[in-house]
Structures are given as structure tokens and as C-alpha cells.
Amino acid sequence: MQGLGAPWGSSHTELLPRGHRVGDWVVTEPIGAGGWATVYAGRRADERAARAAAARGEPAEVALKIMPTAGLAPRQARNVAEAARREVEIGVRAGHPRLVRLLDSTVLTAPDHPALDGAVVLVMERAGGSLRDLLDSGVTEDEGGRLIAGICEGLAHLHRVGWVHADLKPENVLVGEDGSVKLADFGLATELTGTHGYAPPMGTLDYLPPERWRAQLGEQGVEIRPSADIWALGIVIHEVFASGAPLFPGATPVARGAAVQEYAAGRAPLRMAHGIPEFWRALAADCLAPTHAARAAHTAASLLERITAHRAGEPGQARRNRTVRLGRAARALLLAVAACGALSSAVWTYTAREAAEEPPRRIRVFNAERACQDRTDRDPRCSLGLAVDPLRPYTAGNVVPTRVWHADVLDTDCQLLRGEAVIDESDLQSTHWFRVRLPGPDPEARAWLPAVRTKDRPEVPRCPAPAES
């Protein structure tokens, strides 16, 4: 973590050797290092446990985030422990397909490596790379829009459940091998108490909003609001469409910070790189409003709605939509997996004529968790995911953004009897799935509900065979 209050420099890093045991995992190779931690690739130490995990659809390889505390001053050690606590708390309380998944946490035993002995270890799902890696090689407008939509979806969820990321930047946006987008590194994430929260005076200088440069440091830290993430999103949008080039001029982060303050004071204009598409230029400008009050109207949820509407109206998408309307007997895409992160996989086909001939039946969602059955507050911890593809493992990388809760009523138009096996919280297993209409304005948006998530068994036809996209 580059920037204010970094607890140490790069000299702290002591690499673990390949094969070192970390709880139930072994190190395979280093991935990267930052101010707070060193990250390694890891795999399960026990082959039998690895096979059992694979059968459950869990990843074969993980990322091991090692956060040392040995040799630090008490205040520094507390900062590291607090950062680890925040990561674990978000992993437990705020899970979402657009947030990197926390699988386990443990303490490192490494007597031969005193600098690392006793370090906190976070075991997380591993991604193929970061957004920064993609920016170095450049992305198309369509791909950039999809990536930004995924970021926006993750932020919208975090803000909705009461957290500010507080360190959004391309390095903390992970991109899976399938193109899925996940926010990562919640060491500075701040829980809101009302309209704002309090964060330590740390962060990456190039992504701090103008007010952070003047913020008063109190006993609890500095005040932070969701609008800080919106500012950082504006910087990221510019970088996505400017091949990683910084928005504000200056040879160093501090110099660029001075340029930010000149802009916020009205003494310098906002100059974006040439070639940024008009829609994204306007969106970034709204995110980069110079004050919190001016940015407050542009929430992550409202920005996501704008992005969704824009991408639905793009020329390529419009042509696809016209094809569906004019050729009602033709097969169209079942899901153009929302604007927030399309997944590359087998896509199930949908025939409009079939839907007209076979009216949908209604099914009620069932959550086997008893603690969730009497709740009416739609707590995210009680939400259930709908799958993109019922033939793939039912994991976070294979769910649509829309969530459902116990007792929600959905329309189903067909069923699949032999899909991926799913086991619910009461150990009931089934390969049976129902194709359901997604709640929302799009009448053709579909996803898949495992039969273990409903007590209903309506008489609906078998689903058509899948087609490769």
C-alpha cells in the first residue's frame, strides 16, 4: 500500500520458500508484495482434502496474504492487526460475487523466518491478475465498460451494507481467468456509522479525494464517506480509457496531489486525456466533482444504472436486440450477464416461442438456514445466489448480480434434471435446477435456481439443450 502512513518499506520482505506449510496450505510461488503484506500462491497440503474440495467446486489454488507483525512498534502492529480484522469482517459479513472471497484465516508458524513468525495469514481465492495488468496492454471500450461496471457493482454492494473501500485503485481490482471482476484489499475499509466512518490517515495518494488532503485527524482517525470511493472510481475510469495515464499532472504523487487541490479550489480545469469516449468522460467528470457534497448525488448504485443503460444501447448490443425481436423463433442469448461482469461460459439458449406456448409457473425460494427464514430485512447474509450456468460449479464466479431471499416468488419456465450437484445447509443434495426469470425490467433475463432452494415442484417442460457461446 503506497502512500500515507505505510508501516514499512520494501526492506521488510522475507520470502517464504516453495513448499512451506501455512496451515492447511503450502506455498507454491510469490505473487507480489506491498506495504502491508506479501502474497503467495498456495495449494492444499493434503491431496485427499484437495480432491474433496475440488468435488465441492472449491479452487485448487489460492492466494495466501501474509501480514507480518514481528519487529514492529506496538502502534504499527495494531495497524496490521486492525487491517486483518477488517479483511476478515468484510469476508464474513459482506460476501458478494464482486468481492474477492475469503476462504480461511490463520497464523503463520515459521521459526526459521523470525520476521514472518506469527504473521496473520488470509487465505483468499486467486485471480488471474489485476486491472493494472490489463491497463498496461490496453483494453477495448467494450471491455473497459464491462470492467468498470463490475467495479461499480462491487462498490454499490459495499456501500449498501455500510462499508467504504477507501483504497480503490487498479491494483486492488482483480480480474479472473474468465474475466470476472472482484474488488480486493480491504485493509483500509471503513465501516460507516450513519453518513460517515473514521479511517486511519493512510491510502494511495493518487486516489485520495480533495477533502482528504485537508482532513483533520481526530482520535478516531479521519472522516471518510462513500463519496471517497466515487472520486477514486473517477480516477480509475480515466486510467482505463487512457491506458493507465494519470489524470492530474505532476512527476510525483505529492505533486499530483497539489494539482488535485488546485482543481478543487477552482484554479485549474479538469483536463482528461484525448480519446476518452464521451459517455465515460461525462461519467468520470461526475465522479470527480470537487467536493463531497457535489459527488454525493452520484452513488455507486446510480452510476451502475447509467452504465447499464448505456451498455444496453451500444451499437453491437442494439443489433443483438433487434435480431431477437425480428426473429422470434430464433434462439437468443439467455443472459447478457448484466453490465457488471459478463462471464465467459456456455450460455443457455432461450426461445421466445417456447415461452409463449408454455406459460411460466411460480415457485417460492426456500432458505434452509432457520435463522434466515423469519427475517424480512433482506439482510445480505441471508441472500441466495442464482447461477449463470447450471452445468458449472455453484460458486461465486457463477452467479448473477441479482440476489434473492427466503419466500421470494419467481417465475420458472423449464427445468433441468441433471445439472451440477448442489448440497444445501441441511445436507440435501440434488442435480435438479429450475430456470427462472430475473426480477427487473428485462422480460428475457434468466438465471438458474437449484431445486434445493425451493420446496415447489411445478410441472414445467425440460429445458432445451445448451449451446456454446
211 and 251 belong to one structural domain: yes
Where does residue 57 rank: exposed (0-12), middle (13-18), buried (19+ CB within 10 A)? middle
* Overall number of domains in the chain: 3
HSE value, Cβ hemisphere, 13 Å, CA-based, for 185:
23
Per-residue pLDDT of the chain (469 residues), as tens digits, is 333 333 333 334 567 888 888 888 888 888 877 667 788 888 888 888 778 777 777 777 888 888 877 666 666 667 777 777 777 777 766 678 888 888 877 778 777 777 777 788 888 888 888 899 888 777 899 999 999 999 999 999 999 988 899 999 999 999 988 888 999 888 788 888 877 777 777 788 999 999 988 877 767 778 889 999 999 999 999 999 998 989 999 989 999 999 999 999 999 999 999 889 999 999 999 999 999 999 988 999 999 999 999 988 754 443 333 222 222 222 222 222 223 333 333 333 333 333 334 456 899 999 888 778 888 888 888 888 899 999 988 877 788 888 899 989 999 999 998 888 887 666 677 889 999 999 877 888 999 999 989 988 888 899 876 554 3
For the domain that residue 53 is a member of, what is the CATH number?
3.30.200.20
Among residues 79, 98, 125, which one ends one of the domains? 125
Structure confidence by residue, pLDDT tens digits, 280-308: 999 999 999 999 999 988 999 999 999 99
| Same-domain status, 239 and 278 | yes
Catalytic, out of 117, 167, 229, 379: 167
User: Do 152 and 29 share a domain, yes or no?
Assistant: no
Q: Does residue 178 sit in the same domain as residue 229? A: yes
Looking at the fold, whether 167 and 283 belong to one and the same domain comes out as yes
Domain that holds residue 336: 331-453
Domain boundary among 281, 310, 339: 310
167 is known as an active-site residue? yes
pTM: 0.61
Same domain, 54 and 113: yes
In a domain? residue 396: yes
**Do 171 and 94 fall within a single domain?**
no
Last residue of a domain, one of 260, 277, 310: 310
pLDDT at site 359: 56
Q: What pLDDT was estimated at residue 4?
A: 37
Query: Residue 285's pLDDT is what?
Result: 95
Residue 4 forms part of a structural domain? no
Classify residue 82: in a domain, yes or no. yes
